[in-house]
Amino acid sequence: MDVTLRQLRAFAALARTGSFTRAAESMHVTQSALSGLIKELEAGLGVRLVDRNTRRIQLSEIGREFHPVVTKILQDLDSALEGIDSLKRLHSGIVRIAAPQLMASTLMPALIARFRETYPDVRVHLVDCAVENVITRILRGEVDIGVGPQRDELADLGAEPLFDLPFMIVFPPGHPLESIERITWADAMRHPIIALQGQFTDRLMLDLHGAISTPSIRPSHEVAFMSTALSMVSAGLGITPCLPYARPLVDLYGMRMRPLHDPEVRRRFFVYTRRHASLSPAAEVFAQFLPAFTGEIEWGLADAR
């Protein structure tokens, strides 16, 4: 049994209009072409769907039973095609993005707001999580896109560069570091350091090894999230190294953020996706929007007192 969509549309048009002439006009085909489609459909099904006479046509008993089935099939198909067209034109769609907790609370809200200005009908679901969980959520298919620092290459993980930023030091107003024109890591380590637990401090130790005479970071406090570290700095409990995208929160607390030198330690961030999974049109446009937006940001990397 080989039934085509064109045959079903011809049958639906004939049932709706009750006339070969009007049905043919509605499909923009000749009457003979429409009649041929109906005959092919009947031959394929092995039943008569339409009773014909010289005055009018009417559906056979089987045709009457078949008609609502065909109507629903065509309605469902047309609805699905309209949905695909809306997705292509970004009149709808969902983007799921994972980002580290600090980035999710500083950089991402403004980015999403700008994206929604251009694509107001696309919903963006932001998943804020620990930096170590960004890649996991991508590989599990829980999100479409992830943003995070450079990680070891994985066969199933696609990575596109997003930005490359140096570490800054954050301290409260009136702190002794404020009077230093060019702050070095050695300068910072003379004061209580609030650091993040796990890979953050370990990687910093590797980056600083051999570059300064006392490379050992001995945190006065270790916390899980940078937002906590910044709050503790605001309370006068120490200082913390962090990246420039934390500036909105730094400014909110009324603190100071300055570059760290000797050495300049940088972190590269990437847009991550599943390598063998196609992005939806909305997610693909969002992935392209990310570097365009971050490329316009003034990070405030100059030394200033």
Q: What's the mean pLDDT in 215-225?
A: 80
Tens digits of residue pLDDT in 131-176: 889 999 999 999 999 999 988 888 899 999 999 999 999 999 999 9
Out of 1-15, 167-181, 188-202, give the one with best mean pLDDT.
Answer: 167-181
Per-residue confidence (pLDDT) for residue 40, from 0 to 100: 92
The closest of 242, 218, 245 to 228, measured between CA atoms, is 242
Residue 302 lies in a domain: no
Do residues 177 and 141 both lie within one domain?
A: no
Residue 259 lies in a domain: yes
Do residues 153 and 180 both lie within one domain?
A: no
Domain stops at, among 43, 64, 88: 88
Long-range contacts of 43-49 (CB under 8 A, 24+ apart): 44/1, 44/2, 44/3, 44/7, 45/1, 45/3, 46/1, 49/11
Tens digits of residue pLDDT in 12-57: 999 888 888 888 998 889 999 999 999 999 988 989 999 877 567 8
Residue 203 lies in a domain: yes
Residue 300 lies in a domain: no
The CA-based angle 253-266-167, given to 5 degrees, is: 20
- 32-46, 67-81, 129-143, 271-285: the lowest-pLDDT one: 67-81
Count of alpha carbons within 13 Å of 226, Cβ hemisphere only?
27
Tens digits of residue pLDDT in 83-124: 666 556 665 688 999 999 999 999 999 999 999 998 888 899
Mean pLDDT of the chain: 88
Do residues 197 and 283 both lie within one domain?
A: no
Residue 297 above 80 pLDDT?
A: yes
CA–CA dist 156, 79 (Å, integer): 34
Residue 241 above 90 pLDDT?
A: yes
**Residue 15 domain boundaries:** 5-88
Residue 25 lies in a domain: yes
Cα separations (Å) of 264 from 182, 198, 240, 241, 297? 12, 21, 15, 12, 20
Do residues 48 and 194 both lie within one domain?
A: no
Per-residue confidence (pLDDT) for residue 80, from 0 to 100: 74
Residue 228 lies in a domain: yes
Do residues 201 and 285 both lie within one domain?
A: no
Residue 240 lies in a domain: yes
Do residues 214 and 187 both lie within one domain?
A: yes
Do residues 34 and 64 both lie within one domain?
A: yes
* Domain total of the chain: 3
Handedness of CA 17, 19, 23, 28 (dihedral sign): negative
Whole-model pTM over 0.75 = no
Per-residue confidence (pLDDT) for residue 160, from 0 to 100: 95
Residue 13 is part of a domain; what is its CATH number? 1.10.10.10
Do residues 187 and 60 both lie within one domain?
A: no
Do residues 12 and 44 both lie within one domain?
A: yes
Do residues 102 and 129 both lie within one domain?
A: yes
Residue 175 is part of a domain; what is its CATH number? 3.40.190.10
Residue type, 77: L
Per-residue confidence (pLDDT) for residue 178, from 0 to 100: 95
Do residues 216 and 254 both lie within one domain?
A: yes
Specify whether the CB–CB gap between 108 and 134 falls below 8 A. Answer: no
Residue 30 lies in a domain: yes
- CB neighbours of 73 closer than 8 A, spacing ≥ 6? 8
Do residues 15 and 84 both lie within one domain?
A: yes
